[in-house]
């Protein structure tokens, strides 16, 4: 038998109402599909994002994930109709915790993740993009955290992930003013990694350049950065050394070094 060592593995993909999931050439593409509300993140959308994070986790074909949105926006924030219906501080706190939890699951994915931003990424929409490892914006895209203009504060991670990414002063500029920054300024701020004519095409190019590298090394590099973030330098460096050790024990490391010495491109197997 050809596949006698392989387990029969069936990936169960739920029927999503507000997003689609597809994988092509090891790139998982998650597309928010609620364009009539500029992909506003309702509870249902958030729950589907949590489910799709689980699918990505389980899908051996998914080696880089791109998040994008259908229509005029990446996502224009949490759903303001739902926010208007929050009756008391406890309900609102639960709402923030729900968004935080879903975005924490996305941030914890073991593969590189990219937000491909066109149109608007505002409030919770920008916070979703901040939960990704990398952000690519289309020229003309508008990014911001407008919550204080609504009497709110960013509640899906924005007050924490934005200052960690671009620094406290620049983050508070955006949070206090609520202003929209365009793609070029976002690039200067370090809020996005790249700007292109078409965000999705640019994100796919970025994904391709990541996919050339060893999968386990990518996962370990991400783990080292993420785990080190909250620690002091000495502790974080210990983690780095441990994970370097794991990387050095992979078959792909042998292949990578052998390929270099033989002056050819490596063929990584994720082993
Ligand atoms: C913890 C997290 C908190 C948060 O995220 S708070 C929310 C933060 N986000 C915002 O404040 C942005 C809200 N949206 C806007 O300011 C505007 O939209 C835009 C500037 C993004 C675009 O303006 P324009 O081009 O004039 O479009 P349009 O007619 O306002 O929107 C099209 C439809 O989309 C709905 N929509 C837009 N954003 C949201 C949202 N965040 N929640 C719910 N619905 C939204 C609208 O209402 C409308 O719908 P209809 O056609 O039925 O009137």
- Per-residue confidence of the chain (271 residues) as pLDDT tens digits? 455 556 677 889 999 999 999 999 999 999 999 999 999 999 999 999 999 999 999 999 999 999 999 999 999 999 999 999 999 999 999 999 999 999 999 999 999 999 999 999 999 999 999 999 999 999 999 999 999 999 999 999 999 999 999 999 999 999 999 999 999 999 999 999 999 999 999 999 999 999 999 999 999 999 999 999 989 999 999 999 999 999 999 999 999 999 999 999 999 999 9
What is Dmax (Cα atoms) for the chain?
A: 66
* pTM of the predicted structure, to 2 decimals: 0.96
Please report the pLDDT score of residue 211 as a whole number.
Answer: 97
Nearest 10 degrees: CA dihedral of 70, 73, 75, 76? -140
Angle at 156 between CA 83 and CA 222, to 5 degrees: 160
- The whole-number pLDDT of residue 10 equals 86
Q: What ranges do the domains of the chain cover?
A: 19-211, 215-262
Q: Are strands 27-32 and 64-69 parallel, antiparallel or unpaired?
A: parallel
**Residue in 41, 65, 68 with CA at minimum distance from that of residue 55:** 65
pLDDT at 265: 95
Closest atom of ligand 1 relative to the 154 alpha carbon: 1
Cβ of residue 38 lying under 6 Å from some atom of ligand 1 = yes
4, 6, 54, 127: which one is catalytic?
A: 127
Active site residue 147: yes
β-strand 194-196 against 134-138: which pairing, if any? parallel
Mutate to test the pocket of ligand 1, among 49, 77, 174 (most ligand atoms within 8 A of CB): 77
Q: Is the dihedral of CA 136, 142, 147, 153 positive or negative?
A: positive
Residue written as tokens 């911001």?
A: 144
- Neighbouring residues of 27: CB distance < 8 A, sequence distance ≥ 6: 62, 63, 64, 65, 66, 204, 207, 211
> Strand order in 120-122's β-sheet?
120-122, 142-144, 181-182
Architecture of domain 215-262: Orthogonal Bundle (1.10)
Four-point Cα dihedral 46, 136, 222, 170, nearest 10: -90
pLDDT of residue 7: 66
Q: 19-211, what's its fold?
A: 2-enoyl-CoA Hydratase; Chain A, domain 1 (3.90.226)
Report the residue among 80, 93, 102 best suited for mutation to probe ligand 1: largest number of ligand atoms under 8 A from its CB: 80
């Amino acid at each position: 038998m050809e596949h006698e060592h392989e387990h029969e593995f069936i990936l169960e993909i739920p029927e999503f109402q507000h997003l689609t999931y597809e994988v092509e050439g090891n790139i998982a593409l998650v597309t928010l599909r609620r364009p009539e509300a500029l992909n506003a993140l309702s509870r249902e959308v958030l729950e589907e994002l949590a489910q799709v994070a689980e699918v990505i986790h389980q899908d051996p074909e998914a080696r880089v994930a791109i998040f994008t949105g259908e229509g005029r926006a990446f996502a224009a924030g949490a759903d303001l109709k739902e926010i208007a219906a929050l009756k008391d501080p406890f309900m609102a706190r639960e709402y923030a915790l729900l968004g935080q939890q879903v975005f924490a699951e996305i941030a914890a994915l073991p593969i590189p993740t990219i937000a491909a931003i066109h149109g608007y990424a505002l409030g919770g929409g920008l916070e979703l993009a901040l939960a990704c490892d990398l952000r690519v914006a289309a020229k003309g895209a508008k990014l911001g955290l407008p919550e204080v203009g609504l009497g709110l504060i960013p509640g899906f991670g924005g007050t924490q992930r934005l200052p960690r990414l671009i620094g406290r002063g620049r983050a508070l500029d955006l949070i206090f003013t609520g202003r929209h920054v365009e793609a070029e300024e976002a690039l200067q701020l370090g809020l996005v990694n790249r700007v292109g004519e078409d965000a999705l095409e640019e994100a796919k190019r970025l994904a391709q350049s990541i996919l050339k590298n060893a999968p386990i090394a990518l996962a370990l590099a991400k783990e080292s950065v993420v785990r080190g973030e909250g620690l002091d330098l000495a502790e974080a460096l210990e983690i780095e050394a441990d994970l370097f050790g794991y990387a050095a024990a992979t078959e792909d490391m042998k292949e990578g070094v052998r390929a270099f010495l033989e002056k050819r491109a490596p063929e990584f197997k994720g082993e």
